[in-house]
Amino acid sequence: MHTRTLGQGLEVSAIGLGCMGMSHGFGPASDTGEMTRVLRDAVDLGVTFFDTAEVYGPRTNEELVGRALAPVRDQVVIATKFGFAFDDDGRQTGGVTSRPDDVRAAVDGSLRRLGVDHVDLLYQHRVDPDVPIEDVAGTVKELVEAGKVAHFGLSEAGAGTIRRAHAVHPVTALQSEYSLWWRELETEIVPTLQELGIGLVPFSPLGRGFLTGAITAETTFDSTDIRASMPRFTAEAREANQAVVDLLARIAEAKDATAGQVALAWLLAQEPWIVPIPGTRRTERVRENAAAADVELTGADLAAIEEAIAAVEVQGARYPEAMQRWIDR
């Protein structure tokens, strides 16, 4: 596996592994023994960058990742996130909180669940409009100085927020959605990251599975699968958006690759400091995704993709309207 360097010199595998779906968000949680095998297989395949969060499960995903990677702790980079609010019984309330005391408590909880003495990369999961980002960055800086955190990251933050946080404590990476069918970051965020020397970690780089070609207009989703409520995953939107998958499939055939590999290779070709974290529950998908780092897209390939994708109008909003309003605030 090739490696890449995010901001502040954090070296990771060129393709990481998003672990959320193993226990949260895409249907019922999978068997922990089976997921442990997948995580360890990923290490054997050269993956060194693993992404989890306090809210995944909730909290159970960190336990899974920590136990599975304990035997190879010194070989991997574990990223987790704070920022969602919980009640006294550990249930997510639906709100966010980045108050200093809550951040400290969240980090102590993550360290305990992961079974580690420090978090390699700690993200603020969502910006808290009620807490100045300077206070958040200052709290993380204290945690870095205390040896509990190595690197600071943000998730789904705007350019202004990134700049303000970075001025207090260097930001290593921004984690946000980015793929061939969601490119909003390119206008303002990517240039900001380039200027400040911050890495980009795209989540959902395969369009939550759609860009692999495995999802069609006939696919059905479990009621606990977040895609069941997403406008981009209505049957009508999936049928209209099939043109994107067809484009990837044509290029993939010429490269002796898969559509998903081309989608990941396209991301890798955008900047040397971009590290996608596709999620999966299957070793064979980890192997396929990891191999995308070896798929070379020429300048002509990239130009052809740009020309073809410009003719495709992707249908369906990224999130339901109420959720998008909550994120936009």
* 155-168: pLDDT as tens digits: 999 999 999 999 99
* Burial annotation 10-27 (CB, 10 A radius, 16+ → b, else e): bebbbbbbbbbbbbbbbb
Asked whether residue 85 carries a pLDDT value surpassing 80, the answer given is yes
The CA-atom distances, in angstroms, between 9 and each of 47, 121, 180 are 18, 12, 27
Closest CA to 135 of 171, 176, 164, 95: 164
Q: How confident is the model over 219-254, as pLDDT tens digits? A: 999 988 999 999 999 999 999 999 999 999 999 999
Listed in order, strand segments (DSSP E) in the chain are 3-5, 11-13, 17-18, 49-51, 77-82, 84-86, 92-96, 119-124, 149-155, 171-177, 199-203
What are the boundaries of each domain within the chain? 3-328
Neighbours of 75 (CB within 10 A): 9
SS3 (DSSP) at 136: helix
Q: 10 Å Cβ neighbour count for 293?
A: 20
- pLDDT at residue 326 above 90? no
Full-model pTM: 0.96
- How far, in Å, CA of 192 to CA of 295, rounded? 27
Q: Which residues are catalytic?
A: 56
**Planar angle of CA 66, 280, 81, nearest 5 degrees:** 45
Is the pLDDT score of 115 beyond 90?
yes
B/e letters for 141-164, b = 16+ CB within 10 Å, e = fewer, are eebbeeebbbbbbbbbbbbebbeb
pLDDT tens digits, 15-54 = 999 999 999 889 889 999 999 999 999 999 999 999 999 9
Predicted local distance difference test score (pLDDT) of residue 40: 98
Q: What pairs with residue 77 in β-bridges?
A: 49
Specify the fold of 3-328: TIM Barrel (3.20.20)
Do the beta carbons of residue 277 and residue 17 sit within 8 Å? yes
Q: Name the β-bridge partners of 51.
A: 18, 79
| Confidence (pLDDT) at 328 | 66
Please give the Cα distance from 127 to 157 (Å, whole number).
6
Which residues have CB under 8 Å from 260's CB, separation 6+? 206, 211, 212, 213, 248, 278, 288, 289, 292
As a whole number of angstroms, the distance between CA 186 and CA 159 comes to: 11
